[in-house]
Amino acid sequence: MTDDAQIGEYPRWPEEIFGVLCDAEVTQVAYVPDAGHARLIELCQANGSMRSVALTTEEEGVALLAGAWLGGARGVLLTQSSGVGNCINMLSIVQECRFPLLVIVTMRGEWGEFNPWQVPMGQSVSDALGNAGVIVHPVDAADEIADTVAAAAELAFNAFRAVAVSISQRVIGSKVWK
Amino acid sequence: MSSSESSGNLDRREVVAQLLAGRGDALLITGLGSTTWDAAAVGDREENFYVWGGMGGAAMIGLGLALAQPERRVLVITGDGEMLMGLGAFATIAVQHPANLSVVVIDNEVYGETGMQPTHTHFGVDLAGMAAAAGFESACTVYTQSDLDTLCASLYSTRGPLFASVKVSGDRHETVLPPRDGTYLKHRFRRALLGDAEKGSLAGRTS
């Protein structure tokens, strides 16, 4: 298989999200490495106007992006569904101060999951975020992701809200174990 | 040593006053609990953002701010218990390596707001050693007035990220409360730093 063929097999939506983040003037990209976000993270790392910040745990990203907004910068938190649980108490800062927050969640523990240990947190994502004051936009079709992230960015940065886009495992693909 | 007796002798209020005396236009983040009362006792300022919750997040808020404002010095003053809850921040900050960030822990070796129970630093956990091992540009533990004078001489000028743990006595002080409404603290900080912050807020409209 040639490199071109491999590139051709990449789904388009990570590049589309990247374009939306550029348009939204996002300059801080916080993440814990994740298979679902791997391509998007690479694109952000390669972009000179974005600062990629690898985290040890996702709650660091919630605090980081609060500081970014205090300093006049916009950011995004890229996380797997399991990382949502790590954020809960830190989200109280966001709710109390009404910091804008844009989160993109790649789901595990739902469509076609084989690892039972991913299911509890995956199934809790929507309720947990909702209870923590985060508006959730679920999306389960690849061609709706970019528009959904754009709408979430608008709601976050211009209406000053905490918004998460959760991308279904149906889009990302279930993890294949060999 | 009793369970609540600190290895430090410095007075926390005097330490924080000395740390802030030379701040100039530096931006300040404080952690929930005593360090917020300490900063308020020195004097409330618009460029102070007091974190009244989100335990473990103060240093990371400082990082986000330092990356957004690379020309401004950012100082985080927080407690040992608050720092212990977010130790991963040492690794994350060290990798980003912001030259304009200083993190100072006021280390009384107890959880002051919950009944003076000993923290891990009381049993020898070395926060400065952890910061140094993570890769901070400089890291030290301050025990004496002389150590403190040395720290204050470099706090706003030396290349960061800088970390210092200042060992203070367990003495409690009057609780001095700064403003605590989060949206108010956010807005006044941004107005002081950015001017009319909302004016350009639609620049990134995507539709």
Alpha helical stretches, state H, A11-109 = 13-23, 38-45, 58-70, 81-86, 91-97
pLDDT tens digits for B37-71? 999 999 999 999 999 999 999 999 999 999 999 99
Kindly tell me if the per-residue pLDDT of B87 is higher than 80. yes
Q: Name the strand (E) or helix (H) holding A74.
A: strand A74-80
Kindly tell me if the per-residue pLDDT of B6 is higher than 90. no
Nearest to B204 among A23, A53, A62 (CB): A23
Q: A4 to chain B, minimum CA–CA distance in Å?
A: 31
Lowest-pLDDT range of A9-18, A105-114, A127-136, A168-177: A168-177
pLDDT, residue B3, reads 46
Residue of A97, A96, A99 lying closest to A77 (CA atoms): A99
Domain boundaries, chain A: 3-172
Kindly tell me if the per-residue pLDDT of A2 is higher than 60. no
Q: How many residues does chain A have?
A: 178
pLDDT, residue A78, reads 98
- Residue B168 CA to residue B77 CA, distance in Å, equals 13
Residue with tokens 């912001």: B98
Beta bridge partners of B10: B168
Lowest-pLDDT range of A5-19, A109-123, B111-125: A5-19
Domain covering B12-194, topology: Rossmann fold (3.40.50)
pLDDT, residue B112, reads 87
Residues of chain B positioned with their CB less than 8 A from the CB of A68: 64-65, 67-68
Q: Compute the Cα dihedral for B95, B96, B98, B104 and give only its sign.
A: negative
> Would the CB atoms of A25 and B52 count as touching at under 8 Å?
no
Pull the structure tokens for residue B87: 């130790």
The stretch A29-48 carries a mean pLDDT of 94
Share of chain B above pLDDT 90, in %: 87
> Would the CB atoms of B60 and A60 count as touching at under 8 Å?
yes
Residue of A60, A97, A119 lying closest to B53 (CA atoms): A97
Beta bridge partners of B168: B10
Geometric angle at alpha carbon B140, from A59 and B97, rounded to 5°: 45
> Would the CB atoms of B65 and A97 count as touching at under 8 Å?
no
Q: How many residues does chain B have?
A: 207
Check if the beta carbon of residue B27 is closer than 8 Å to that of residue B190: no
Question: What value of ipTM does the predicted structure carry?
Answer: 0.94
Domain boundaries, chain B: 12-194
pLDDT tens digits for A44-67? 999 999 999 999 999 999 999 999
pLDDT band (50, 70, 90) for residue A12:
very high
pLDDT tens digits for B134-168? 999 999 999 999 999 999 999 999 999 999 999 99
Pull the structure tokens for residue B80: 């040992």
Geometric angle at alpha carbon A146, from A143 and A148, rounded to 5°: 100
pLDDT band (50, 70, 90) for residue B206:
very low
pLDDT, residue B113, reads 85
Residue of A nearest to B182 (CA): A97
Q: Domain spanning A3-172: which superfamily?
A: Thiamin diphosphate (ThDP)-binding fold, Pyr/PP domains (3.40.50.970)
Query: Across chain B, what does the average pLDDT equal?
Result: 93
Beta bridge partners of B142: B166
Residue with tokens 């410095």: B10
